[in-house]
Structure 1
Amino acid sequence: MNKTDLRVIKTRETMHRALIDLLHEKPFDEITAKDVIEKARVNRTTFYRYYSGLVSLIDEVFFDFKQKFADLLANEHCQTEQVFQDFLNSRHTISALWRIQSRRYGLYDDMHKMLRVAFADELVKQNMVGHSLHYQSFICASLCMESLRYAILHNETMSLKQSIDDIKSLAGLF
């Protein structure tokens, strides 16, 4: 199967979207391959031509999303605000994947870890390391992820700068 064939790409995207939509409709552990097949309107043979089962579909969706996230973080010209807005635009997918919590899947934690590493690298590169690089990168990643979680859960449109300004205004409480 040629992964660059437009039909292959569209079929995979259709099954990915079906899984994401199903995650918004019912708990992860209640979703079956049959549900995805029906939602995607593909036949059983087509589904199993692409995937060995539901787990391989989920693995691919997670891998693709994490790869997109890693690519954004690796882009030297990409600004944190741009990453934040890109992920707000992907809120439907992110909120669906965050619903899957297991030993195998934990997108929120994976994203946090990837951000933590990216912030640590950036702090070192810009010579902005304070008392503890680990603490600084952890706090930066946590602020971004919690701002993203808040915006997604409350269906808010916001900027990371707005979140940072709100946090700065709270500094007097400490």
Structure 2
Amino acid sequence: MSSVPGSVLVQDPGGPTPATLPPGITFTERLLLSLLVSINENEEGGKRNEERGRRKEKGGRRNEERGKRNEEREKMKDERGKRNEERGKRIEEREMRKEERGKRIEEREMRKEERGKKKEERGKRIEERGKKNKERGKRNEERETRKEERGFNCSDVQ
């Protein structure tokens, strides 16, 4: 019954029906054949569905893996960002220390200049005092010579 030589099965809108069947096939056999055809088609459809399911499952696993890779990439980006932030902070701190050091050096130079100026002023004052003392010495000497010329000598008084 299932192996009918020379038979071809086709589908029409009413469902699977055997076409060109040899003469002498009863209505029941015809029904059984069409039932077998639909069972075969259902099995093939089921296989296709199973295969599609496997493909979808495979795609789902791929998507999960891609998602995990993306998450790892994001974590790495976050870590890189944190490292870059830390590096930036260190660089800023270094720059601030450089600036502070520069300010201290400038202040030191200014104090040196002020000390130099004070020393110069002191030197000038000492020089002026020296000139005045020299002049006073000359005047005193002139006074002494005049006194001597007049004949008044301190050594004569004794």
* TM-score normalised by the chain length of structure 1: 0.18
The structure where helix makes up a greater share of residues is 2
Select the structure that is richer in strand. 2
Structure whose alpha-carbon radius of gyration is higher: 2
TM-score, length-scaled by structure 2: 0.19
